[in-house]
Amino acid sequence: MKDNRILIIEDEESICDILSYALRKEGYTVKYSNTGSKGVLLIETFNPDLIILDIMLPDTNGFNICKDVNRKYRLPIIMLTARNDIVDKVLGLELGADDYITKPFDIRELTARVKTILRRIGQSSDSTLKNIIYIDENIYINTNSRTVYKDEEEIKLKPKEYDLLLYFSLNKDRVFTREELLDKVWDFNYEGDLRTVDVHVQRIRKKLDYTSSSIIETVFGIGYKMGRG
Ligand code: CA
């Protein structure tokens, strides 16, 4: 196995101790932080492959970190929830956590989940992972090669179709007007009319073989948005 690095952000010292002991025994390099702010710094300096993240932290809550990590780094996250709280779980998963585990947890179960996630991402190797953006569970973008895959098959997009899809995927849940999209995705001085946006959206939907209500959604009277897949 590669030397995978795991970052634990958790304020309970005893949990950090148990977890890092168990994970080091499995061959992982482990660091932990008892606060959210130090944890965020460690993401930069320690460059982890996976984060185990507590929700209730002294200086912030794990959801904020999760949202941030998912936006900037797209690292896999396992959330630790204190209670068997379905709201926490759903919120965590919506914010981009890959998995959650309820405290008190079985340490073997947690290490098994860590292994599963790292194996899954290991197939694309960690250097390319950061260049992969998931649109939903079947479709992803490889920003290195500017390619789009659906069910592991490459979908050929024209450059502007690709740019538009990428722009939406980096701004999920945000509604854009056609004017904004023309401005952001096309050249600033592009003289095209607003129909250009519609045509591109339709082509993307068609190529990805999705109905008009999904992938890039029409927000009636305003424009378009991409929901969380
Ligand atoms: Ca806590």
Quick: pLDDT tens for 145-198: 788 998 888 999 998 899 999 999 888 888 999 988 988 888 656 666 888 899
> What's the CA dihedral at 29, 72, 116, 25 to 10 degrees?
10
Q: Give the Å distance between the CA of 157 and the centre of ligand 1.
A: 45
Q: Is beta strand 132-134 parallel, antiparallel or unpaired with respect to 139-142?
A: antiparallel
Phi-psi region of 173 (alpha: psi -120 to 50; beta: other; left: phi over 0): left
202 Cβ contact partners less than 8 Å away, ≥ 6 residues apart: none
Q: Give the Å distance between the CA of 82 and the centre of ligand 1.
A: 7
Query: What pLDDT is stored for residue 151 in this prediction?
Result: 85
How far does Cα 10 stand from its chain's mean position?
20
Instruction: State how far the alpha carbon of 106 is from the alpha carbons of 18, 19, 85, 111, 175, in Å.
Output: 11, 10, 17, 9, 42
Distance, in Å, from the CA atom of 170 to the CA atom of 199, rounded to the nearest integer, reads 20
Please give the model's pTM, rounded to 2 decimal places: 0.55
If pLDDT is split at 50, 70 and 90, which confidence band does 212 have?
very low
Query: What pLDDT is stored for residue 129 in this prediction?
Result: 53
Q: Give the Å distance between the CA of 54 and the centre of ligand 1.
A: 6
Q: Give the Å distance between the CA of 100 and the centre of ligand 1.
A: 14
Contact by Cβ (8 Å): 201, 182: no
